[in-house]
Structure 1
Amino acid sequence: MTAPGPAAPSPTTPPCASAASRTPASAWPDPWPAPAAAGPVRGTVRVPGSKSLTNRCLVLAAISAGPSVLHGVLRSRDTDLMRTALTALGARFEDRADGAVVVQPLPVGVPLEEPVAVDCGLAGTVMRFVPAVAALRPGTVVLDGDAGARVRPMAPLLDGLAQTGTRVEFLGAEGFLPVRLTTGEELGAEAAIDSSASSQFLSGLLLSAARRPAGLTLRHTGAQVPSPEHVAMTVQFLREHGVHVDTLEEGAWRVHPGAPAGVESAVEPDLSNAGPFLAAAAVTGGEVSVPDWPAATTQIGDRWRSILPAFGAEVSFTPDPTDDARGTLTVRGGVDEAGRPRIAGAGELAGTAELAPTAAALALLASGPTHLTGIGHLRGHETDRLAAIAAEAGRFGVRVEESADALAFPGSDSSGPLRPAEARTYHDHRMATFAAVVGLAVPGTAVQDVATTAKTLPDFPALWTALVGGEPAHDRPERDEVR
């Protein structure tokens, strides 16, 4: 398959971004020179709140019976788009001086006074969560987004809404944005959809189901759900916040009606975004720690505990002495007899999901072969990630075998050393971090549009540069901890 074409330009800075919380995109050159590691990378990185959990918190708070207070929420383009969308539907947000966000819920069941327009940007959670929220207020809502959003699948979610009483009108290609949704006073209580292309279709319908007058019975009709952790995250999240959810059988749920009470809740760190920083230890034979790692979590990023050892790294978890619900995850990269970094081929790694781009960067640098399988659904993410990874690997001089749902990497023992390249990102934040990880071991690597990382991690270039530095770790003790 050929490389995906570049998407149309999209904003690089969230519309509600505060100058104190992020470095402006203009601070980074384009292309951005990815820093190469001059020695083992060592440091501690505190990653901000999870985007997946932040947007779930914002949705649930917006449909609750009373106000909520949210701590540790991520501020990024995706989460600001969610706030803007929920504000258009009647919710209100207040940023407190201590960093908490107070959410006043939208008036469920009250008709919209006029049609509402929602900009989804390139945020999958906005595209897939907001339509079901919009159905809770009778009226008309038009959703659109970036050019890249118009090629991301929406049909299963919209089919579920149509089954439950919302009129769906496609304003462009059928099954994609832009779309006009018109909901009346009556909402059905049963839907069956094939969510094989994205777990977000199920999560989007489940999140707001309790505010439907009769709740919702939802069934997945496909063979398997991609990223099942994300659906489990949604179900557990709802239960933790007082929503009655029954798992009827595998792939079927019953959400009982009832307005969740307003909550005071804290968002876990984004474990997926921790991946590139932890990978830096594996690439350089160094040591990187991430504090506040949850001892138990539904975040898919917890898979780093098993993925990184497959590449020869050592992973340890040290419980917090004051809070056994969290601790510090530390990764130590493998080294050979001479103390040089050693990245082993991982063999077959199944179901890396959204972690695949970072795993792919390690696979490019590994000595032996790696086969990432079960990731076909990534073709419907911000870009066709399988095609993008294969194309960028070729730019670094490595031929990666691409199949419908897998990528096979030969290993450097077979392909030889990588060559420097100017990597494309396709407006995909994880392709930007993929290139940054490769750049650790390939001096001269540059990254186009590194500001696209603002989607989920606005200050990634600053965090990355502070951790990697560019000079040997023992010469920069003041950078050993990145806050």
Structure 2
Amino acid sequence: MSTPQQQPWPAPIAQAPVEATVLIPGSKSETNRALVLAALATGPSVITDGLDSRDTRLMRDALRALGVGITEAGNQWTVQPPSTLSAGGTVDCGLAGTVMRFVPPIAALVNGSVSFDGDEQAYARPMDVMLAALDQLGVTVEDQATSLPFTLTGTGRPAGGVVTIDASSSSQFVSGLLLAGAKYAEGIDIRHDGEPIPSLPHIEMTVAMLRARGVQVDDSEPDRWVVAPGPIRPLDVSIEPDLSNAAPFLAAAAVTGGTVTIPHWPTRTLQPGDHLRGILEQFGAEVRLTEAGLTVHGTDQLHHVDLDLREASELTPVVAAVAALANTTSHIRGVGHIRGHETDRLAALEFELNSLGGHVVQTDDGLTIHPRLMYSGEWRTYADHRLAQAGAVLGLVIDDIVLDDVSCVDKTMPEFVTLWQQMLAGSERRSGVAEARE
């Protein structure tokens, strides 16, 4: 499988407090769940304002490989499920956790074999829980694989029933089984046995989207989800902005003492990125949610924080970057599982922040960040879009930060560099900095 070409990028410094309104593209989490459910529905569905990024292109191509029809016309995609899913080539997972964990339970519905592969870096991402679960459900996994690449052989309609897993490394294992469970003969009864599951709002999102399509889900008992067998209704949906991808832009306001507004911020949402409101307030920023959107205004000082980010762990890299610029020591807790994300995010943040002069120490479940005066240097992204976003935030206030590769933002936000540059250019025009240079 091919990996995108690396693109070094000098992160631009903010010549003035950031003042901008930034339109954020659609939620990846919501888009890929909507695609999967539309592919399993009893009729066609239309998805409006879905995120067009590498992860969602991989999901669309994966579903097409199983016989699903998807046509794209501007910001609207029409998904036509086939009468019977079929196998058609290898599914490329790239580095997308949603593809490697959501599509195998669907491929189990194929009467035949389906192969899965991805970026080399994806081979290190945990898959043993999902593959063991499918084995419990009667799906054959070639050579007892525990990670990519692998081949599984579906039976057309697995029996389903009770499956016990340890999902403490990723909520995606639960969501993946939930999304396909209604299509199994007996439905599915998922039982978690292990340490607390991270990112529970993502499971709540999955459950809510299933119920919106008429699927019966009983989650009344802790660590257990029972999906009744039955049809999945087609549903036309509009996708919310990706609130986690708003993190670096809102952080820009906090670290430069500026003001950033994200339009169309939902008043009620299951996206974990909504935690940004409370997080940035703890850093000392002023946060307002109005009809215009979510506005963050940076004040004259960044306060230290002590945060449990278990439910919103994807925010950790950007939050760590802000904490490295705060007034004194901060603690991030509850995120030990992100060692198994696109890269070992805790090790990467510790090394990269320290390489710029910071003082960061890993703990069992997070980071302790002691702010220090930091200096210019290379910021490695490890093919991880969240690491790239963190490097961009630091580059606003530290001269000559160069990301070794910014192409990884294509995973969830191909427009990132353009939006970042537009944000800074507009801020400079308003402050008169551009005119003063001429």
Please give the per-residue CA displacement for 1:95-151, whole angstroms capped at 9, x wherever unaligned: 124x2100001334x5x3x56311100000000000011111221011111011100
- Alpha-carbon distance between aligned partners in 2 of 1:106 and 1:272, rounded to the nearest angstrom: 33
Match of 2:149 among 143, 164, 178: 178
- Alpha-carbon distance between aligned partners in 2 of 1:141 and 1:330, rounded to the nearest angstrom: 46
| Residue identity opposite 1:376 in structure 2 | G
Q: Which secondary structure state, in structure 2, belongs to the residue aligned with residue 430 of structure 1? A: helix
Match of 1:263 among 235, 242, 245: 235
| Residue identity opposite 1:80 in structure 2 | R
The reply on whether 1:100 has 2:97 as its aligned counterpart is no
In structure 2, the partner of 1:10 is 3
| Residue identity opposite 2:343 in structure 1 | T
> What are the equivalent positions in structure 2 for 1:30-69 lying under 5 Å apart?
30-69=7-46
Match of 1:198 among 170, 185, 190: 170
> What are the equivalent positions in structure 2 for 1:48-197 lying under 5 Å apart?
48-97=25-74, 99-108=75-84, 112=86, 116-170=89-143, 174-185=145-156, 186-197=158-169
Please give the per-residue CA displacement for 1:427-453, whole angstroms capped at 9, x wherever unaligned: 000100100000111011111111110
Please give the per-residue CA displacement for 1:15-63, whole angstroms capped at 9, x wherever unaligned: xxxxxxxxxx8xxxx4211111111101100100000000000000000
In structure 2, the partner of 1:324 is none
Shift of 1:152: 0.2
- Alpha-carbon distance between aligned partners in 2 of 1:219 and 1:38, rounded to the nearest angstrom: 53
- Alpha-carbon distance between aligned partners in 2 of 1:61 and 1:71, rounded to the nearest angstrom: 13
Structure 1: 4+ residue segments shifted above 4 A: none
Shift of 1:237: 1.2
Q: Which secondary structure state, in structure 2, belongs to the residue aligned with residue 293 of structure 1? A: coil
5+ residue gaps in structure 2? Answer: none
Please tell me whether the aligned partners of residues 113 and 153 of structure 2 are also in contact (alpha carbons under 8 angstroms). Answer: yes
- Alpha-carbon distance between aligned partners in 2 of 1:243 and 1:472, rounded to the nearest angstrom: 52
In structure 2, the partner of 1:463 is 419
- Alpha-carbon distance between aligned partners in 1 of 2:176 and 2:218, rounded to the nearest angstrom: 17
TM-score by length of 1: 0.86
Kindly report the root-mean-square deviation, in angstroms, between the aligned alpha carbons of the 2 structures: 1.8
- Alpha-carbon distance between aligned partners in 2 of 1:88 and 1:46, rounded to the nearest angstrom: 32
| Residue identity opposite 2:222 in structure 1 | E
TM-score by length of 2: 0.95
Please tell me whether the aligned partners of residues 160 and 181 of structure 2 are also in contact (alpha carbons under 8 angstroms). Answer: no
Please give the per-residue CA displacement for 1:209-231, whole angstroms capped at 9, x wherever unaligned: 11112211111111211111111
> What are the equivalent positions in structure 2 for 1:331-410 lying under 5 Å apart?
331-335=296-300, 342-351=301-310, 352-410=312-370
In structure 1, the partner of 2:393 is 437
Shift of 1:346: 1.3
Shift of 1:399: 2.0
Change (3 A) 1:253 1:116: same
Please tell me whether the aligned partners of residues 273 and 315 of structure 2 are also in contact (alpha carbons under 8 angstroms). Answer: yes
In structure 2, the partner of 1:330 is 295
5+ residue gaps in structure 1? Answer: 1-7, 13-24, 321-326, 336-341, 479-483
Please give the per-residue CA displacement for 1:360-400, whole angstroms capped at 9, x wherever unaligned: 01011111111000101100000000000001101211120
Shift of 1:168: 1.1
Shift of 1:348: 4.0
- Alpha-carbon distance between aligned partners in 1 of 2:20 and 2:50, rounded to the nearest angstrom: 24
Change (3 A) 1:213 1:476: farther
Deviates most, 295-304 or 257-266: 257-266
Please tell me whether the aligned partners of residues 31 and 422 of structure 1 are also in contact (alpha carbons under 8 angstroms). Answer: no
Shift of 1:476: 7.1
Shift of 1:349: 4.1
| Residue identity opposite 2:119 in structure 1 | D
| Residue identity opposite 2:214 in structure 1 | G
Match of 1:293 among 253, 258, 265: 265
Q: Which secondary structure state, in structure 1, belongs to the residue aligned with residue 246 of structure 2? A: helix
In structure 1, the partner of 2:283 is 311
Shift of 1:170: 4.1
The reply on whether 1:250 has 2:209 as its aligned counterpart is no
Number of aligned residues: 432
| Residue identity opposite 2:390 in structure 1 | F
| Residue identity opposite 2:245 in structure 1 | N
Shift of 1:76: 0.4
Please tell me whether the aligned partners of residues 115 and 140 of structure 1 are also in contact (alpha carbons under 8 angstroms). Answer: no
Q: Which secondary structure state, in structure 1, belongs to the residue aligned with residue 142 of structure 2? A: strand
Change (3 A) 1:135 1:355: same
Match of 2:206 among 205, 218, 234: 234
Shift of 1:9: 7.1
Shift of 1:350: 4.0
- Alpha-carbon distance between aligned partners in 1 of 2:172 and 2:323, rounded to the nearest angstrom: 27
| Residue identity opposite 1:304 in structure 2 | L
Kindly, what percent of the aligned residue pairs are identical?
47
In structure 2, the partner of 1:419 is 375
- Alpha-carbon distance between aligned partners in 1 of 2:358 and 2:83, rounded to the nearest angstrom: 54
- Alpha-carbon distance between aligned partners in 2 of 1:190 and 1:170, rounded to the nearest angstrom: 24
Q: Which secondary structure state, in structure 1, belongs to the residue aligned with residue 203 of structure 2? A: helix
In structure 2, the partner of 1:21 is none
